[in-house]
């Protein structure tokens, strides 16, 4: 299985990617994971990337592309989360001989739901416990149920920041939906509902891409 997972911030891609990768027995790859693996492995690309990471700078697109290429060939089968982020990166993936994608799964969630999900998060500054004012409210009102510290809202979880992030996503990443639809690769699922509900929808789509899964469950 070689599948790309697409979706806006707050769609739950990371959570679903981890569960789906484990379920189907393939690697869950994100750009962060790939960079960390290259650095930990001490490869030439990893050493180059480490300098940028340690300096708090973005890894150049060309270097990131080489890291992605190296890891994809290493794994062979994968669920790719967070890459590509734009059409240029998608076109780069098409140049990788022997790594043709089986499909692209788009987790679609409307903006209002995404804003509620992200802006509703509250975090304990002392022990890192995460709550959500709607889905997992703190038992003590505004205070952490573990240590009693007053909860905070991260700057990037504030509504105005969330909407700016969604704007960037629409400009840079949303064109990938049209790109992959034109290739006949895109499958779309509703990203609303519980984690289990979304997982069930995603797994049903991915079963069609996984020949090994089909063989094992005939």
Residues with catalytic roles? 13, 85, 121, 154, 165
What's the rounded Cα separation, in Å, for the pair 11 and 4? 14
Whether 127 and 144 have beta carbons less than 8 Å apart is answered as yes
Beta strand 103-108 pairing with 78-81: unpaired
Say how far residue 128 (Cα) sits from the centre of its chain.
Answer: 21
The span from the CA of 40 to the CA of 35, in Å, is: 9
Three-state DSSP class for 95? coil
Omega of the bond prior to 6 within 30 degrees of 0, cis?
A: no
- Encoding tokens for residue 94? 């098409």
* Paired tokens of 6: 């697409």
Tokens of 210: 């996984």
By DSSP bridging, strand 130-132 and strand 121-123 are antiparallel
Residues 112/159, Cβ–Cβ less than 8 Å = no
Cβ–Cβ < 8 Å for 6, 93: no
């Amino acid at each position: 299985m070689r599948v790309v997972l697409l979706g806006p911030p707050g769609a739950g891609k990371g959570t679903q990617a981890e569960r789906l990768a484990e379920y189907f027995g393939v690697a869950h790859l994100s750009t962060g994971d790939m960079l960390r693996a290259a650095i930990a492995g001490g490869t030439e690309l990893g050493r180059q990337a480490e300098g940028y990471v340690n300096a708090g700078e973005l890894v150049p697109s060309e270097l990131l592309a080489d890291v992605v290429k190296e890891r994809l060939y290493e794994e062979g089968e994968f669920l790719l989360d967070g890459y590509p982020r734009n059409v240029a990166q998608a076109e780069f993936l098409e140049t990788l001989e022997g790594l043709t994608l089986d499909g692209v799964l788009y987790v679609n969630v409307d903006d209002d739901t995404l804003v509620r999900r992200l802006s509703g998060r509250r975090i304990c500054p002392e022990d890192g416990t995460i709550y959500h004012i709607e889905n997992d409210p703190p038992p003590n009102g505004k205070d952490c149920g573990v240590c009693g510290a007053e909860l905070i809202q991260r700057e990037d979880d504030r509504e105005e920041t969330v909407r700016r992030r969604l704007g960037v996503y629409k400009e840079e990443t949303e064109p990938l939906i049209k790109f992959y639809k034109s290739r006949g690769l895109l499958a779309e699922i509703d990203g609303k509902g519980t984690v289990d509900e979304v997982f069930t929808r995603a797994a049903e789509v991915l079963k069609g891409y996984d020949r090994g899964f089909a063989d094992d469950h005939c």
